[in-house]
Amino acid sequence: MNSTKEVTIYDIAKVLNISPATVSRGLKDHPGIRKDTKKKIHNAAQKMGYQQNTFASNLRRKNSKTIGVIVPRLDSYFMSSVIAGMEKVANGAGYNLIISQSQEFVKKEIASTTTLFNSRVDGLLISLSSETKNLDHFDAIFRKKIPIIFFDRVIELPNCTSVVINNERAGYDATRHLLDQGCKRVVHVSGSLNRNVYADRLKGYKKALSEKRIAFDPKLVFTNNLSDQSGAEVARQILKMNKMPDGIFTANDTTAVACIRELKQAGVKIPQDIAIVGFNNDPISRVIEPHLTTIHYPGEEMGEVAASTLINGLKNLSSGNLNTMIIRHELIIRQSSVRKTS
């Protein structure tokens, strides 16, 4: 048989000398078909290279059993743990994920949205790029009433649910911990303030300073892409300051670890000279010496909650309209920030 020709149930029926209807029922594991007949059908289908057209079958049932996911980056421990949580829930409910990354570019986010819309996804799970300022590219999805769940990086919209942690409180907890350890001049390293996660962590940083009657100094706030390279650059800028900080709170662990590495190479003692707190509880936080104090951001739980909320909505099992669902965070204290012993 020509390997490029699409194999159909009629081809299998002809080879086995049985009816196409029997082949169809056998492939669907119908109880009315004998076990030995089912085995013959499946063996023949595999040998002949038969591909079941689940997409067409699902379209006849008015759904695709697929969920679109758009994330800023795939090369992040946090985001991969979120996707693991989503996949666990989605697969358990009979759905598949189509995953795309914007790489922090709004143009790629728009292109991914169009592709997923044309792929007829049943719903969309999205964490916004750092460049995204409006949601015009979701208009077609809203018009079709395809449900969207925003997670982590969100924009508040009516009839859309967001899944987040309390980033302002987390930023406050991290900064307050440094202040309670005796720090009085704390640097904050942030990502793009277009996004709620970083804007809210900055708010928490400012609130902790205010409570301790420490004036906010904008020169102590660095905004960058939170990469390893940018963390090292922040450390080099800190080393050039006339008055060095005694604490650093970074909006992710990658940047915090890069700061520790660069500062230690320059002879700065961590935490005696500068105490440091990161964010996300990445595995790297337990590898660096000293081990990094960080905010535990429960990525897998966030993915599970986002996916189950979307799927329950698709199945009309939602219990009311919750605009924002908040997952609990936790400050994990390790050696990089402890300057006082209780």
Give 27-49 pLDDT, tens digit per residue: 888 888 889 999 999 899 888 88
Residue pLDDT, tens place only, 292-337: 999 999 999 999 999 999 999 888 865 555 688 999 999 999 999 9
> 104: left (phi > 0), else alpha (psi -120 to 50), else beta?
left
Q: Does the predicted model carry a pTM greater than 0.75?
A: yes
Structural domains counted in the chain: 3
Q: Count the Cβ atoms, other than its own, within 10 Å of residue 155.
A: 16
Q: Which residues contact 263 (CB under 8 A, 6 or more apart)?
A: 235, 238, 239, 270, 273, 274
Read off the pLDDT of each residue in 89-104 and give the average, rounded to a whole number: 95
Dihedral sign for Cα atoms in the order 329, 333, 334, 339: positive
**Strands, E, within 191-283: which ranges?**
221-223, 247-250, 275-277
**Within 10 Å of residue 54's Cβ, how many Cβ atoms?**
12
Domain residues for the domain of 222 are 167-297
Judge residue 32's burial from the number of C-beta atoms within 10 Å of its C-beta, 0-12 exposed, 13-18 middle, 19 or more buried. exposed
Residue 175: give its domain's CATH number: 3.40.50.2300
| 161 and 309 assigned to the same domain | yes
Whether residues 173 and 290 share a domain: the answer is yes
Could you tell me if 159 and 308 lie in one domain? yes
Residue 71 DSSP label: E
**Do residue 159 and residue 263 come from a single domain?**
no
Confidence at residue 6, expressed as pLDDT on a 0 to 100 scale:
78
